[in-house]
Chains A and B, each alone.
Chain A
Amino acid sequence: MVNEATIRGVFSDENFVKGLFELETPREVQATLRQKDISLSVEEIVKIRELLAKRLETGAELSDEELESVTGGSVTVAIVGLLILAGAATFTGAVSLGGIAYCTDYFTHGNW
């Protein structure tokens, strides 16, 4: 059983969070989390994406009921989900400049 402090420790690594947001499939996410001893099923990871989509779409916090309905009461899923949401706040901010992958290039090219 992974405790909350450990999960928070893993997610305090900004590069790790950025890396998660660069992944393209739930299996890649699953493998990456497993490397940090966080085991989630693909279904749980898809649910976390639902949480994120809901948050980003409405700009609203999730109620405990909504969180419960997605996580099915799993503490680990809830924590990882919330941390990914928290990471998204910063991450999508960086994305606002044109995406992490091409953020630095966005300013240099174009307008020809």
Chain B
Amino acid sequence: MKLHHYLRHLTQDKESLLFDEQCHRVFERLATALGDIESQETIQEIDLSMTGRQADYSCRLDKTDRDATLDFLRHSSLAQSSPAWKAVTDLCAIWCDEQSGVSSRVSNVWLEMDYESWQQGRLEPCVFFDISQVCPRGGNDWMYQALSVLLGPERSAMFRLRLDACIDALEGRNRQLFQLGVMLGRQAESARLFTSDMTREQLTSYLAELNWSGDLPGLAAKLESMEPFVRKFILDFDVTNAGISEKIGINFGLRRSGDATVDEFLAFAEAQQLCVAEKRTGIREWLAAAPDPAALIFNDISHFKLAINPAGVPKKLKAYLRQGSVPRRQFTAFARPRMMNIELTTRCPLHCPQCYCDLSQGRDIDLESAKGFVRQAGALQMQQINLSGGETLVYPHLCELIACCREHGIRANVALSGYGFDTEVLRKLRNAGVGGIYISLNGSTEAVNRQSRDGYDLAVKALATLQQENDPDYLINWVAHRHNVGNFPAMVALAEKYGVKTVVVMAFKPDSRHELPSLPSHEQLVYLADFIKKYPAGPLKIVIESCFSPLRALVGQKFFVNLNQGIGKGCQAGRDSLSVNVDGKLTPCRHLEIEGNNGSIAEYWRQSEVLRQLRTVEQDTRTPCRSCNYERYCLHCMAVSWKMHGELFKGNDFCELHQAINR
């Protein structure tokens, strides 16, 4: 992801307790100068000990993006703007050079922009590169090659003796190094060394061996006082040709994960006068912020650092606030919905046994009402809208609504039975800008399909038309039942024959009578999971919708972990999606018809009590799910709880996975 995405996300909250207006201006300056750099992780370093709301800004440059980074540096004006940026560009060049020792050994490089220098218009970075592959008494010429680019050959050679001594002193301690940094932005005449994590005893004995001149017993006592929260520390210090600095940094993560642990630690720091109350509140807000669904940016805390002054006394406590493209902590909902379903009509000429819709009164959603929701969705940067029915194609304004979605930058998908579908309709849908066309089909033969769906011939004819027209984006929605699981391989073969891109394996939800008559057995779920796991990668993909959480838990079970975790593991209602019913009312899901208020989507997302409850289901898992081996890796369809039991907070009594485990 490019830096400007992170920075834009960062500057959205103008009321932040952590960054003031001037700091926001620096972020904007950074976005202008460096916004096109690719980074998977950025960090804002804040001082918890003072009330000032400023941050130094860092970004991680990964090996996988290094060619793009070099290209950016060479084509921007940065390399010519100062010796510091030229040094960064030169470092990147040898990192990209496969012949250099640096190329294979450095997995990432960090750039840090000091708030003060950027605020004053000195746009220069500090640089830190990965030295985890440096070995005591290993020569490590490649590290000095990189250092020489940053500091110049003379100073690099001058520091080598001292650096080698610091590295060699690690021998026998079973410890490694983490990073080497040069403060180009501060015109520092030193290199900063970071060790890997150490216990208190290892750290103090290492400092003693390096002849650190600070108060070692005082430091040891301070670290000991932190041990209820911290077990390992990363030490950083500056190396010059005169020796190591008196000023050192003690970096650490907390023993336990979780926001409560962070808050407990900050309370401890506050009592030690190392953290001011506003910053503690600001950190709470930082951690509570729901992830941005448009850019997929996630907040957490990378680590903390105690800055130790020459007397060995903690001078400052800093927090390193991380924004990344990978979530490192669990979250239950996005800040805004990513996806929405609109029920266009309850009219349908077919009679599918599994149908969950009330088709007794045929009616359509009002076009202007639907467009209003699409406009709101566009303003919320929603990414997809699924248009369904009844039979989607009988809605008279379908193409107009699809065009409206396109106009607002939203992908509009449609689910079709095949009724009324032909080449001309396909042309109109494509001209309107439709995204995925999902054909509903539950069996490879008419006999299998008709047990749960109507219109086999229509669906197959639609697939033939899509193939014949070389349509780029068509899929099959296949709902698993007891009667069709054995037919799934034949279904996949049919999908391959018709050039289908994806088969979506869907869970059977309660039908219009609120019944679940033909759920797959445990053995069938295992059979299905096994087939999906073994199905080879190729032009056809098989995916499992989130609602089918028990099957995802089975497929996700690996040796080390079960992959079915986090927000994608199960029911999405109110977490990343919602629905609009044919009456123009907001509901949590197409299958969870609990009508909300008549306010906006944004208000509903923020204020709905039902959505709030749906986001907390895991906090109070009920039987039988509570005793299931897959409890942590499964979040069943809430429509089952609601329609079959009349309550949301209920375990899934209909789950065959659980029943088999506990038989």
Which residue of A26, A61, A94, A110 contacts B572 across the interface (Cβ within 8 Å)?
A110
Closest CB of chain A to B227's CB: distance in Å? 11
CA distance A101 to B561 in the complex (A): 13
Closest CB of chain A to B577's CB: distance in Å? 5
Across the interface, do B132 and A93 meet the contact criterion of CB distance under 8 Å? no
Across the interface, do B132 and A8 meet the contact criterion of CB distance under 8 Å? yes
Across the interface, do B176 and A52 meet the contact criterion of CB distance under 8 Å? no
Which residue of A3, A12, A91, A98 contacts B568 across the interface (Cβ within 8 Å)?
A98
Across the interface, do B559 and A106 meet the contact criterion of CB distance under 8 Å? no
Interface string of A5-32 (1 = CB under 8 A from B): 1001100101000001111111011000
Across the interface, do B256 and A109 meet the contact criterion of CB distance under 8 Å? no
Across the interface, do A112 and B563 meet the contact criterion of CB distance under 8 Å? no
CB-nearest residue of chain A to B177: A5
Interface string of B529-572 (1 = CB under 8 A from A): 00000000000010111110000100111111101111111001
Chain A contact surface mostly = helix
Interface string of B483-508 (1 = CB under 8 A from A): 00000000000000000001010100
Across the interface, do A102 and B572 meet the contact criterion of CB distance under 8 Å? no
Closest CB of chain A to B587's CB: distance in Å? 11
Q: Is A97 interfacial (CB 8 A cutoff)?
A: yes
Q: Is B231 interfacial (CB 8 A cutoff)?
A: yes
Q: Is B88 interfacial (CB 8 A cutoff)?
A: no
Size category of the B interface is 35 or more
CB-nearest residue of chain B to A109: B504
Interface string of B232-273 (1 = CB under 8 A from A): 100000000000000000000101111001000000000000
CA distance A106 to B206 in the complex (A): 48
Which residue of B134, B174, B327, B541 contacts A96 across the interface (Cβ within 8 Å)?
B327
Across the interface, do A3 and B132 meet the contact criterion of CB distance under 8 Å? no
Closest CB of chain B to A64's CB: distance in Å? 7
Q: Is B386 interfacial (CB 8 A cutoff)?
A: yes
Q: Is A100 interfacial (CB 8 A cutoff)?
A: yes
Q: Which residues of A contact B132 (CB under 8 A)?
A: 5, 8-9, 12
Closest CB of chain B to A83's CB: distance in Å? 10
Closest CB of chain B to A76's CB: distance in Å? 11
Q: Which residues of A contact B231 (CB under 8 A)?
A: 61, 63
Across the interface, do B338 and A107 meet the contact criterion of CB distance under 8 Å? yes
With A58-B256, A111-B341: A99-B556 Cβ-Cβ less than 8 Å: yes
Closest CB of chain A to B512's CB: distance in Å? 15
Q: Which residues of A contact B383 (CB under 8 A)?
A: 107
CA distance A10 to B63 in the complex (A): 14
Across the interface, do A5 and B561 meet the contact criterion of CB distance under 8 Å? no
Across the interface, do B386 and A112 meet the contact criterion of CB distance under 8 Å? yes
Q: Is B199 interfacial (CB 8 A cutoff)?
A: yes
Closest CB of chain B to A14's CB: distance in Å? 8
Which residue of B134, B138, B506, B543 contacts A105 across the interface (Cβ within 8 Å)?
B543
Across the interface, do A98 and B566 meet the contact criterion of CB distance under 8 Å? yes
Q: Is A92 interfacial (CB 8 A cutoff)?
A: yes
CA distance A84 to B64 in the complex (A): 21
CA distance A107 to B567 in the complex (A): 11
Q: Which residues of B contact A60 (CB under 8 A)?
A: 255-257
Q: Which residues of B contact A97 (CB under 8 A)?
A: 296, 327, 566-568
Size of interface on A: residues with Cβ below 8 Å to B: 51
Which residue of B176, B257, B502, B558 contacts A5 across the interface (Cβ within 8 Å)?
B176
Q: Is A2 interfacial (CB 8 A cutoff)?
A: no
Closest CB of chain A to B519's CB: distance in Å? 18
Q: Is A68 interfacial (CB 8 A cutoff)?
A: no
Which residue of B174, B557, B561, B563 contacts A52 across the interface (Cβ within 8 Å)?
B561
CB-nearest residue of chain B to A104: B543
Q: Is B388 interfacial (CB 8 A cutoff)?
A: yes
Q: Which residues of A contact B502 (CB under 8 A)?
A: 105, 109
Q: Is B133 interfacial (CB 8 A cutoff)?
A: yes
Across the interface, do A98 and B567 meet the contact criterion of CB distance under 8 Å? yes
Closest CB of chain A to B141's CB: distance in Å? 15
Q: Is B331 interfacial (CB 8 A cutoff)?
A: yes
Q: Which residues of A contact B569 (CB under 8 A)?
A: 98-99
Closest CB of chain A to B414's CB: distance in Å? 10
CB-nearest residue of chain A to B255: A61
Interface string of B329-366 (1 = CB under 8 A from A): 11100000011110000000000000000000000000
CB-nearest residue of chain B to A62: B231
Across the interface, do A90 and B328 meet the contact criterion of CB distance under 8 Å? yes
Across the interface, do A49 and B559 meet the contact criterion of CB distance under 8 Å? yes
Across the interface, do A25 and B590 meet the contact criterion of CB distance under 8 Å? no
Across the interface, do A84 and B560 meet the contact criterion of CB distance under 8 Å? yes
Closest CB of chain B to A59's CB: distance in Å? 4
CB-nearest residue of chain A to B569: A98
Which residue of A4, A59, A102, A107 contacts B384 across the interface (Cβ within 8 Å)?
A107
Q: Which residues of A contact B436 (CB under 8 A)?
A: 108
CA distance A74 to B359 in the complex (A): 66
CA distance A93 to B330 in the complex (A): 8
Q: Which residues of B contact A91 (CB under 8 A)?
A: 561
Across the interface, do A4 and B199 meet the contact criterion of CB distance under 8 Å? no
Across the interface, do A88 and B134 meet the contact criterion of CB distance under 8 Å? no
With A96-B327, A97-B567, A101-B563: A23-B386 Cβ-Cβ less than 8 Å: no
CA distance A109 to B78 in the complex (A): 43
Interface residues of A (CB under 8 A from B): 3-5, 8-9, 12, 14, 20-26, 28-29, 49, 52, 56, 58-61, 63-64, 75, 84, 88-103, 105-112
Residue contacts A-B, CB under 8 angstroms, 12 given: A9-B132, A20-B560, A61-B256, A64-B199, A95-B561, A97-B567, A98-B546, A101-B555, A109-B543, A110-B546, A111-B590, A112-B590
Given contacts A28-B559, A94-B327, A102-B552, 13 further A-B contacts (CB under 8 A): A8-B132, A21-B560, A21-B561, A23-B560, A24-B557, A97-B568, A98-B566, A99-B552, A105-B543, A107-B339, A108-B436, A111-B341, A112-B386
Interface residues of B (CB under 8 A from A): 64, 105, 107, 130, 132-135, 138, 174, 176, 199, 231-232, 253, 255-258, 261, 296, 298, 324, 326-331, 338-341, 383-384, 386, 388, 415, 436, 438, 475, 477, 502, 504, 506, 541, 543-547, 552, 555-561, 563-569, 572, 576-577, 579, 589-590
